[in-house]
Amino acid sequence: MRDVDVFEKKAKVGEGTYGSVFVAKDKRSSDIVALKRINTEQEENGFPITALREVKILKALHHVNIVTLKEIVTSKEQGALPKNVYMVLEYLEYDLTGVLETPEIRLTQDHVKSWSHQLLNGCHYMHTNKVIHRDLKASNLLINRRGELKIADWGLARSWNSEMKRLTNKVITLWYRPPELLLGAMNYTTKIDMWSVGCIIAEMFRRSGFLKGSNEAAQLKLIFQTCGHPDKESWPTIARECKLWKNFEPAPNERKASRLAEALRHNLPHPKWMTDDAVKLISNLMDLNPYKRWDALKALDADYFYENPIVKQAKDLSMKFAVATVHEMDCRKKYEQKLAQHKMKMQALAASGIRNPPPRK
The CB density around residue 351, as the number of other CB atoms within 10 Å, is 7
Distance between CA atoms of 67 and 76, rounded to whole angstroms? 26
The CB density around residue 185, as the number of other CB atoms within 10 Å, is 23
- Contact between 148 and 96 under an 8 Å Cβ cutoff? The reply is no
Q: Is the dihedral of CA 164, 165, 169, 172 positive or negative?
A: positive
φ, ψ for residue 283, nearest 5 deg: -60, -40
φ, ψ for residue 329, nearest 5 deg: -60, -35
110: Cβ contacts below 8 Å, ≥ 6 apart: 309, 312, 316, 317, 318
The verdict on whether 135 is a catalytic residue reads yes
Residue of 5, 95, 135, 295 marked active site: 135
Distance between CA atoms of 32 and 144, rounded to whole angstroms? 12
Distance between CA atoms of 205 and 273, rounded to whole angstroms? 8
Distance between CA atoms of 141 and 148, rounded to whole angstroms? 10
Coil/strand/helix, residue 165: coil
Distance between CA atoms of 58 and 62, rounded to whole angstroms? 8
Distance between CA atoms of 286 and 177, rounded to whole angstroms? 11
Residue positions annotated with a catalytic role: 135
